[in-house]
């Protein structure tokens, strides 16, 4: 899957060619090689390489239909036959491994006759509508007919055939046209091998065999719409509707997906300035040619009619918006900032950087706050997701980032997934993980321990079953981790040599004494966690004795009152078992948004300058102070929740928010609304009038990832290029708007191109010294740290020693969350995400992904439902100490009784009306995952929801007529 | 700033460091954390609560604020 040879030479934006080199079968990585001759050309390849792939290496292409290099060879189409000296017959080159000294002929009269005969059969049962077929210009069947020189079909077209069948257009993004199917099974194998969903099968035998997606159609099947089958299909059988409607592209630009933290590389296929298709990039090192329903298909939001194209201002949020020029909007925003600072003090204003924007844009916003606002009141959405990761990993290991690359999972023998739901939230990486969990002919699958209150899909999915599902009570992560570590230490499973060599022994001794205390035993904690002690002991042994054990975690770890403690508990567990510092192991936070790692790296936290350096360090302040020409404040600024409190208190009056919807995403909605209403100037920069913008005084239209150059940094610290494929719809990229605001504030910034911003970041940040656009273009992507010590980046961190020197064990005492169930609120509500929607849904709700998730629902256990007289589909009221909201109930046994679950993808659901102000002790990351609630049958909308409807209607009426349709509700 | 909320947050920080067996190190841990992560107006308000009797403050927090007042209290506005 390395596919380095696939890279096209020259600039990354080339005239479109659909002839991406397909080696036919996957690359092999064995160190040993074999040499053979193909048509007289000697070629040397790794052991296990197919003759078909070796032929491509030798510059020969053997005709093929059922083979493609993303899938293991199948050998069914009989087109790739070759002759091998000394062997009888005509073996299929895809399934024949290379042997030393082999002499292969790829072309002869006999081979030509055989291949033509095969093609003749295929074409006798295929519609001859090539000119009007959507695959015209990009059809392998058509290509092969040409390659083999098919000139006639002697059988005629009148016999029994498959030419009259209904097209399945149920999926919003692609069609399945069985009349064009050659039953090569590439789609079936892609669904199995690449995606790991096993939704497709070949039904029937011989002439009757056909591809089936389930009993009815694609939409109602197990299909997750990842696009792997569409990608693999050599004909027009599985075809994007966008191509059918718009035709084949004429140019292609390599770029990076703007959805989750996996950061998949894509080829944006274009016609003029219109995207016609997004195709996962085979050379993308995060995704290796795979994709999910969001990145592959749900990009239509970028040109949705709701996009705002003109800046707007108003003096009160009850006033109508007035469309103005960029100059007027910027001048008004700057004058308000300065007026407010004059009246309330320098520290009365702040900014929020966007984890959806580029590194360069994020860097500029924090620079604007620190240099032009003159304070450190800057924060980012990581506050509400992975800030505990930053704190916990910096404290224990010395760097605020995950330790591995995604490829590392191929080398693992035991996976712990804690508080993460990769198949929904990080689907492309989940496919990779599932492949390792399934194992293959050479190795059994890796062990799997899932620690989650819900029975997530990974617990039991085709050919994957968790060895242990520790179904804990929400809020008891630390207790479970302590119990696991207790078993490791007291059963003699600790890697003492590793600890002695790599870790601080004083800290270790204290920690060891703590963790060995009887109160941390699985038996003692069973009552708290709800997890049987025997399961904890079994899981601890499995992880500790595996050759390579790897921990993957998500927001189910961080979004708790003990989020940072849990992260440190994970680091303790990895260190004591020697599982950090090589491929196959590590501590792997699955970051949420596309650039949340990057926004943290770029100094978005109020206490840290770029590169995670504290503002109290005089040397660091001097470095930035000199480069930026202004003194840097030495005290930490306000974090997002502190900004809200200070706004209500009256000491914080203006906020510049780039690409973040705090009114929907942050907990305790009424409190957030109160804070936003308390501001005298709220500047929102976004591509849509989001929930926050309804409280704004200045609206600056944002630019999508398709409209600017820049970089995103994914969960594996990989810096990927984002490339402009169309001009900004509102005229300015987000970085340009920030520069305009800085200039109006009397602090001009001088950049002609985002590459110059990256150059400045590299000059000022030791972990980025070696990063440049030139190098990114050359290497494709770079994992930081990238500097003199690691000129091409760092796939695995802490290899020789920890970044902080000696690894630090931290005592992680379990402290129960202040949020308790009671007679009034007997259930625990926990929140999460689903595959087809993304975060607050501002993007995905404006795509046809709503076909899968049109509304947020409340998942409730049948037992809890029955006690309350609730039927599946009933409207129910979810009430907490903070507020209430009405949702539809879905009965589900994925949670244990006593736990209910919902998502926050739709604003009117009001999930965060219910969540509390409790937060992680170290970082103030909100505790979204534990809220005590009661659920009662209730058909009416809640008071908040009625207010929400009224407010949304009123705000919509204040928008300029015809400027935009307004939020689709 | 809401003093009650700040006391709750500070108590949670103190609860984490209270597990440290060396009391002096525990107090230093709490102080260093508050100094490094709390914006001055939050620290100022915390001392207002402390001076008003420290209502609801845990023993570790009270000891920390007494022992580390000089470093934690921001300069007067």
- CATH number of the domain bearing residue A492: 3.40.228.10
Quick: pLDDT tens for A705-742: 999 999 999 999 999 999 999 999 999 999 999 999 99
Across A468-532, the runs of DSSP E, i.e. the strands, are 468-470
CB A361 within 8 A of CB A734: yes
Compute the average pLDDT of residues A890-894: 96
Per-residue pLDDT band for A8 (boundaries 50, 70, 90) equals very low
Does the pLDDT value for residue A160 go beyond 90?
no
The pLDDT of residue A967 = 41
Chain B from 31 to 70: CB within 8 A of any A CB: 33, 35-42
The pLDDT of residue A161 = 86
The pLDDT of residue A402 = 96
Per-residue pLDDT band for A469 (boundaries 50, 70, 90) equals very high
Q: Is A923's Cβ below 8 Å from some Cβ in B?
A: yes
Contacts of A505 (CB under 8 A, 6+ apart): A499
Same domain, yes or no: A627 and A763: yes
CB A544 within 8 A of CB A575: no
Same domain, yes or no: A411 and A481: yes
- A339, part of any domain: yes
Nearest-Cα distance to chain A for B55, in Å, is 18
Contact B41 A818 (CB under 8 A): no
Percent of chain A with pLDDT over 70: 97
Compute the average pLDDT of residues A462-487: 97
- Closest CB to A607 among B19, B37, B42: B37
Q: Looking at A739, A767, A795, which one is the last position of a domain?
A: A767
CB A186 within 8 A of CB A66: yes
Q: Is A815's Cβ below 8 Å from some Cβ in B?
A: yes
Quick: pLDDT tens for B7-43: 999 999 999 999 999 999 999 999 999 999 999 999 9
Sign of the alpha-carbon dihedral angle for A120, A121, A123, A124 = positive
The pLDDT of residue B1 = 84
How far is the C-alpha of A596 from the C-alpha of A604, rounded, in Å? 10
CB B15 within 8 A of CB A815: yes
Q: Is B4's Cβ below 8 Å from some Cβ in A?
A: no
Quick: pLDDT tens for A744-785: 999 999 999 999 999 999 999 999 999 999 999 999 999 999
Same domain, yes or no: A833 and A903: yes
Per-residue pLDDT band for A290 (boundaries 50, 70, 90) equals very high
Quick: pLDDT tens for A417-464: 999 999 999 999 999 999 999 999 889 999 999 999 999 999 999 999
- Closest CB to A614 among B33, B36, B41: B36
Nearest-Cα distance to chain B for A651, in Å, is 8
The pLDDT of residue A854 = 87
CB A337 within 8 A of CB A689: no
Q: Among all chains, which residue has been given the structure tokens 């590194």?
A: A359
The angle, 0 to 180 degrees and rounded to 10, between the axes of the packed helices A109-124 and A140-148 is 140
How far is the C-alpha of A238 from the C-alpha of A307, rounded, in Å? 31
Quick: pLDDT tens for A906-938: 999 999 999 999 999 999 999 999 999 999 998
Per-residue H/E/C for A118-163: HHHHHHHCCCCCHHHCCCCCCCHHHHHHHHHCCCCCCCCCCCCCCC
Does the pLDDT value for residue A145 go beyond 90?
yes
Same domain, yes or no: A440 and A465: yes
Nearest-Cα distance to chain B for A475, in Å, is 15
CB A251 within 8 A of CB A285: no
Q: Looking at A542, A565, A589, which one is the last position of a domain?
A: A589
Does the pLDDT value for residue B77 go beyond 70?
no
- A479, part of any domain: yes
Does the pLDDT value for residue A594 go beyond 60?
yes
Compute the average pLDDT of residues A42-68: 97
Same domain, yes or no: A849 and A702: no
Does the pLDDT value for residue A2 go beyond 70?
no
The pLDDT of residue A517 = 98
Same domain, yes or no: A752 and A894: no
Q: Please give the helix or strand (H or E) that residue A622 lies within, else none.
A: helix A618-628
Q: Is B75's Cβ below 8 Å from some Cβ in A?
A: no
Rounded to the nearest integer, the mean pLDDT of chain B is 96
Contacts of A937 (CB under 8 A, 6+ apart): A868, A869, A870, A874, A875, A876, A877
| A198 phi-psi bin (left φ>0, alpha ψ -120 to 50, beta other) | left
- The token pair that represents A146 in the structure block: 């040409």
Q: Is A648's Cβ below 8 Å from some Cβ in B?
A: yes
Same domain, yes or no: A619 and A550: no
Contacts of A206 (CB under 8 A, 6+ apart): none
Number of domains composing chain B: 1
How far is the C-alpha of A355 from the C-alpha of A597, rounded, in Å? 8
Quick: pLDDT tens for A827-863: 999 998 889 999 889 999 999 999 998 899 999 999 9
Specify the higher pLDDT residue, A159 or A930.
Answer: A930
Same domain, yes or no: A584 and A697: no
The pLDDT of residue A441 = 87
Percent of chain A with pLDDT over 90: 93
The dihedrals phi and psi of A892, each to the nearest 5 degrees, come to -155, 140
Q: What is the CATH number of the domain that holds A860?
A: 2.40.40.20
**Long-range interactions of A54-63: CB distance < 8 A, separation 24+:** A54/A98, A54/A104, A55/A82, A55/A93, A55/A104, A55/A106, A56/A21, A56/A22, A56/A23, A56/A24, A57/A5, A57/A23, A60/A106, A62/A24, A62/A93, A62/A106, A63/A115, A63/A144, A63/A147, A63/A148
Per-residue pLDDT band for A3 (boundaries 50, 70, 90) equals very low
A574 prior amide bond cis, ω within 30: no
Same domain, yes or no: A838 and A858: yes
Q: Is B23's Cβ below 8 Å from some Cβ in A?
A: no
Rounded to the nearest integer, the mean pLDDT of chain A is 95
Q: Is B9's Cβ below 8 Å from some Cβ in A?
A: yes
Angle at A103 between CA A98 and CA A105, to 5 degrees: 100
Q: Can you give the residue range of the structural domain that contains B13?
A: 3-72
The pLDDT of residue A5 = 39
The pLDDT of residue A873 = 96
Q: Please give the helix or strand (H or E) that residue A252 lies within, else none.
A: strand A251-256
Same domain, yes or no: A842 and A708: no
- B19, part of any domain: yes
- A415, part of any domain: yes
- A841, part of any domain: yes
Contact A811 B20 (CB under 8 A): yes
Contact B16 A815 (CB under 8 A): yes
The pLDDT of residue A155 = 85
Does the pLDDT value for residue A377 go beyond 70?
yes
Same domain, yes or no: A442 and A577: yes
The pLDDT of residue A19 = 62
Does the pLDDT value for residue A965 go beyond 80?
no
How far is the C-alpha of A396 from the C-alpha of A737, rounded, in Å? 39
Interface test with B, best of A640, A642, A648, A809 (most B CBs within 10 A): A642
Strands in A14-15's sheet, in edge-to-edge order, are A14-15, A251-256, A265-271, A274-280
- Closest CB to A921 among B12, B35, B77: B12
- The token pair that represents A780 in the structure block: 């494709």
Contact B39 A642 (CB under 8 A): yes
Does the pLDDT value for residue A876 go beyond 90?
yes
Q: Please give the helix or strand (H or E) that residue A699 lies within, else none.
A: strand A698-701
Name chain A contacts of B38, Cβ cutoff 8 Å: 636
The pLDDT of residue A17 = 53
How far is the C-alpha of A71 from the C-alpha of A195, rounded, in Å? 11
Per-residue pLDDT band for A18 (boundaries 50, 70, 90) equals low
Q: Can you give the residue range of the structural domain that contains A604?
A: 312-385+596-767
**Residue among A305, A307, A301, A310 at smallest CA distance from A737:** A310
The pLDDT of residue A962 = 63
Contacts of A900 (CB under 8 A, 6+ apart): A827, A828, A829, A830, A858, A859, A860, A861, A864, A878, A933, A935
Per-residue pLDDT band for A14 (boundaries 50, 70, 90) equals very low
- B77, part of any domain: no
**Residue among A649, A485, A641, A663 at smallest CA distance from A575:** A485
Q: How many CB pairs under 8 A join A and B?
A: 67
Length, in residues, of chain B: 77
Does the pLDDT value for residue A12 go beyond 80?
no
Q: Looking at A734, A767, A800, which one is the last position of a domain?
A: A767
CB A165 within 8 A of CB A211: no
Compute the average pLDDT of residues A568-572: 98
Q: What is the CATH number of the domain that holds A715?
A: 3.40.50.740
Same domain, yes or no: A761 and A873: no
Number of domains composing chain A: 3
């Amino acid at each position: 899957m390395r596919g380095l040879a696939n890279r096209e030479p020259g600039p990354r934006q080339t005239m479109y060619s659909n002839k991406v080199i397909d080696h036919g079968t996957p690359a092999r990585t064995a160190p040993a090689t074999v040499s053979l001759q193909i048509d007289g050309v000697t070629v040397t390849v790794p052991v296990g390489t197919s003759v078909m792939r070796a032929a491509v290496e030798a510059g020969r292409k053997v005709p093929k239909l059922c083979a493609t290099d993303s899938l293991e060879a199948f050998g069914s189409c009989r087109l790739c036959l070759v002759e091998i000296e000394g062997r009888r017959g005509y073996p299929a080159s895809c399934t024949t491994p290379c042997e030393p000294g082999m002499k292969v002929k790829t072309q002869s009269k006999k081979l030509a006759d055989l291949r033509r005969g095969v093609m003749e059969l295929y074409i006798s049962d295929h519609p001859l509508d090539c000119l009007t077929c959507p695959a015209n210009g990009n059809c392998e069947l058509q290509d092969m007919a040409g390659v083999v020189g098919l000139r006639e079909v002697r059988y005629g077209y009148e016999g029994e055939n498959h030419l009259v069948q209904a097209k399945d257009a149920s999926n919003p993004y692609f069609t399945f046209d069985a009349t064009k199917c050659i039953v090569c099974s590439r789609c079936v194998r892609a669904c199995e091998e690449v995606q790991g969903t096993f939704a497709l099968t070949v039904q029937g035998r011989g002439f009757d065999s056909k591809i089936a997606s389930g009993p009815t159609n694609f939409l109602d099947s197990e299909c997750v719409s990842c696009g792997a089958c569409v990608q693999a299909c050599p004909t027009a059988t599985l075809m994007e509707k966008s191509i059918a409607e718009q035709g084949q592209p004429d140019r292609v630009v390599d770029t990076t997906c703007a959805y989750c933290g996996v950061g998949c590389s894509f080829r944006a296929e274009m016609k003029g300035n219109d995207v016609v298709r997004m195709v996962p990039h085979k050379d993308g090192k995060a995704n290796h040619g795979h994709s999910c329903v969001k990145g592959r298909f749900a990009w239509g939001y970028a040109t949705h009619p709701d996009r705002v194209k003109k800046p707007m201002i108003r003096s009160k949020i009850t006033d109508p918006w007035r469309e103005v020029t960029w100059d007027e909007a910027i001048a008004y925003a700057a004058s308000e900032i300065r007026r407010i600072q004059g009246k309330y003090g320098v520290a009365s204003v702040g900014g929020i950087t966007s984890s959806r924007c580029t590194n360069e844009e994020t860097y500029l916003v924090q620079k604007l706050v620190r240099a032009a606002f003159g304070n450190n009141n800057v924060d980012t959405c990581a506050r509400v997701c992975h800030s505990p990761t930053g704190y916990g990993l910096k404290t224990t290991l010395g760097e605020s980032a995950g330790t591995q690359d995604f490829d590392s999972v191929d080398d693992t023998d035991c996976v712990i997934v804690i508080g993460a739901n990769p198949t929904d939230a990080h689907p492309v990486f989940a496919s990779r993980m599932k492949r390792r969990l399934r194992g293959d002919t050479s190795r059994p699958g890796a062990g799997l321990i899932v620690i989650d209150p819900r029975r997530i899909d990974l617990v039991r999915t085709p050919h994957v079953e968790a060895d242990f599902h520790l179904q804990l009570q929400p809020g008891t992560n630390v207790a479970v981790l302590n119990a696991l570590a207790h078993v490791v230490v007291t059963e003699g499973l600790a890697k003492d040599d590793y600890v002695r060599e790599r870790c601080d022994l004083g800290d270790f001794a204290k920690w060891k004494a703590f963790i060995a205390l009887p109160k941390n035993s699985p038996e003692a904690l069973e009552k708290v966690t709800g997890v049987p002690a025997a399961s904890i002991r079994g899981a601890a042994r499995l992880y500790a004795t595996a050759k390579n054990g790897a921990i993957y975690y998500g927001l189910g770890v961080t979004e708790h009152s003990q989020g940072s403690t849990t992260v440190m508990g994970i680091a303790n567990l990895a260190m004591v078992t020697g599982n950090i510092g090589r491929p196959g192991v590590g501590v792997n936070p699955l970051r949420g948004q596309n650039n949340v790692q990057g926004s943290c790296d770029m100094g978005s936290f109020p206490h840290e300058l770029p590169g995670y350096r504290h503002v109290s360090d005089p040397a660091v302040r001097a470095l930035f102070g000199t480069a930026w020409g202004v003194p840097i404040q030495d005290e930490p600024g306000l974090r997002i929740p502190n900004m809200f409190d200070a706004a209500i208190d009256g000491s914080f009056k203006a906020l510049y928010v780039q690409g973040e919807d705090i009114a929907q995403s942050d907990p305790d909605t009424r409190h957030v609304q109160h804070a936003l209403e308390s501001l005298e100037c709220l500047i929102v920069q976004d591509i849509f009038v989001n929930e926050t913008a309804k409280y704004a005084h200045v609206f600056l239209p944002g630019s999508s990832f398709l409209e600017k150059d820049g970089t995103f940094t994914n969960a594996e610290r990989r810096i990927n290029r984002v490339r402009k494929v169309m001009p900004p719809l509102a005229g300015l990229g987000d970085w340009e708007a920030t520069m305009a605001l800085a200039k109006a504030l009397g602090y001009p910034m001088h950049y002609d191109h985002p590459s110059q911003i990256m150059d400045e970041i590299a000059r000022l940040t030791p972990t980025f010294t070696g990063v440049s656009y030139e190098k990114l273009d050359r290497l494709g992507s770079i994992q930081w740290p990238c500097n003199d010590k690691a000129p091409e980046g760092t796939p695995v961190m802490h290899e020789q020693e920890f970044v902080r020197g000696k690894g630090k064990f931290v005592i992680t005492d379990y402290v129960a969350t202040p949020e308790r169930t009671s007679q009034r609120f007997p259930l625990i509500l926990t929140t999460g995400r689903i595959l087809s929607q993304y975060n607050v849904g501002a993007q995905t709700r404006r795509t046809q992904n709503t076909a899968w998730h049109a509304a947020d629902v409340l998942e409730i256990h049948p037992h809890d439902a029955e006690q309350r007289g609730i039927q599946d589909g009933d409207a129910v009221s979810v009430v907490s100490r903070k507020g209430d909201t009405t949702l539809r109930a879905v009965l589900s046994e994925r949670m244990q009784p006593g736990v209910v679950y919902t998502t926050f993808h739709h604003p009117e659901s009001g999930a965060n009306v219910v969540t509390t102000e409790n937060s992680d002790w170290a970082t103030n990351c909100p505790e979204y995952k534990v809220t005590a609630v009661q659920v009662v049958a209730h058909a009416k909308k809640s008071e908040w929801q009625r207010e929400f409807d009224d407010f949304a209607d009123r705000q919509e009426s204040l928008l300029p007529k015809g400027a935009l349709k307004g939020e689709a509700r | 700033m809401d003093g009650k909320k700040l006391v709750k947050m500070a108590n949670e920080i103190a609860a984490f460091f209270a597990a440290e067996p060396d009391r002096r190190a525990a107090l230093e841990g709490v102080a260093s954390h508050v100094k490094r992560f709390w914006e001055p107006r939050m620290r100022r308000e915390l001392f207002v609560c402390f001076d008003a009797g420290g209502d609801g403050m845990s023993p570790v927090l009270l000891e920390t604020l007494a022992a580390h007042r000089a470093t934690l209290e921001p300069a007067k506005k």
